[in-house]
Structure 1
């Protein structure tokens, strides 16, 4: 018997996103995200309980402002003291690891899925998932977009509105679309 679509997704192989198991996982995430986004802050705390149950790992002091959106939640790992400002979106069809002390500005988006380039296969729901790794003490400015397969090194800065399509070296600052390094800090 072959791999399930979820197993293919987890293995970084092409998979069909139109799958009952994946649909159920996305529905579970929608419910948890809704709870997080609609709970009074005094009840929600750093993360709504339903959302924190989904995540792969949550370090002490990690905090997610509302509104927030994720597609699965099960592939997200947050280090200690990670801060995500309002409006962040993580489409976590692959692993997303955010290191200790990293801060994401408002409206930061992380996209792990890449849809097939062939229109017929894309229309049939074929996609591949690539992980995103963010090191420790990274600052990601508001409105930045990180695509699947990138690694952001420790201490890096991603400028507001940058579109990150390639790895960013530790301590580097990148800006623009596509993101490119700028002078030393």
Structure 2
């Protein structure tokens, strides 16, 4: 679930994206709230006069907090919709351990990785030339928003499912990031599953 808000550029509207979907959408408006559906499934809300309903600070992608989600839920319910918001507040950038690395069956420069992120194992397809089994790396999990604004989603790369992204220093917008391609390899001081950023 992602929240976008830019009062100066687009007005006092909160854009709440529950799922990223392409295709035809249906809209239903009640009061200040527009419910957006795709194939009869709720995928988002536009909430007008948002600053009167929730304390939203900043522009662009807004970090969700429990208080903010509660306020948005109240706005949705007050205008007559029944959908329950389900926000995941777990860290999205975490330390992962590359357990296995296999060659992608259909792409020479891609590897298929099995990565332990503490509470689960993820399959991630990665094109970095320096990725190896046994490394600790930074993993952007599904739902993470990169500094570029890109939202990490479940994907298929050349036919192989991939859930997340192994990050380079440049992709994380870290200072002194090297120009050459390659993921950021962490030292053993890091604990698998710990948050990489204070989120």
Provide the TM-score with structure 2 as the length reference.
Answer: 0.25
More RCO (CA 8 Å, sep 6+)? 2
More helix by share: 1
Which has the greater radius of gyration? 2
